[in-house]
Amino acid sequence: MSAHGSRFLPKTFRTLVANLKPRQSPSVAGKGASANTSASAAGLVDGYDVGLTARCAELIHPLLHKILAVVPGSHDQLGTVLLEYFPHLSHSIHVQRAYTANLLRVLEYCPLLREKLLPALIDRLIRIDVEIKLEELPDAEPSSAAEESEAQGASMHEAEEVFGMDMDTHGAVASAASLYGHGQLSPEEEQRLREHRENASKLDCLLDLLMTHLAQRSFPEREDCFKILVRSIALECSRVCAHRSVV
pLDDT value at position 106?
Answer: 97
pLDDT value at position 141?
Answer: 44
Q: Under a CB-based contact definition with an 8 Å cutoff, are residues 86 and 116 in contact?
A: no
Please give the radius of gyration of the chain, using alpha carbons only, rounded to the nearest integer: 21
Residue 37 counted as domain residue: no
pLDDT value at position 131?
Answer: 81
User: Residue 59, exposed/middle/buried by CB under 10 A (0-12, 13-18, 19+)?
Assistant: exposed
Residue 156 counted as domain residue: yes
Least confident of 4-18, 21-35, 70-84, 174-188: 174-188
Least confident of 125-139, 187-201, 217-231: 125-139
Residue 203 counted as domain residue: yes
**How far apart are the C-alpha atoms of 232 and 229, rounded to whole Å?**
5
Residue 74 counted as domain residue: no
H or E element, residue 142:
none
Higher pLDDT pick, 230 / 117:
117
Residue 169 counted as domain residue: yes
Residue 202 counted as domain residue: yes
Tell me how many domains the chain contains: 1
Domain that holds residue 144: 133-213
Residue 51 counted as domain residue: no
Which letter, b or e, does each residue of 159-188 get, where b requires 16 or more Cβ atoms within 10 Å of its Cβ? eebbeebebebeebbebbbebbeeeebeee
- The model's pLDDT over 158-178, given as tens digits with 9 standing for 90+, comes to 545 544 444 444 444 444 444
- The model's pLDDT over 197-247, given as tens digits with 9 standing for 90+, comes to 888 899 999 999 999 998 998 888 888 888 888 888 877 666 666 655 555
Task: For the chain, count helices (H), then strands (E).
Answer: 10, 0
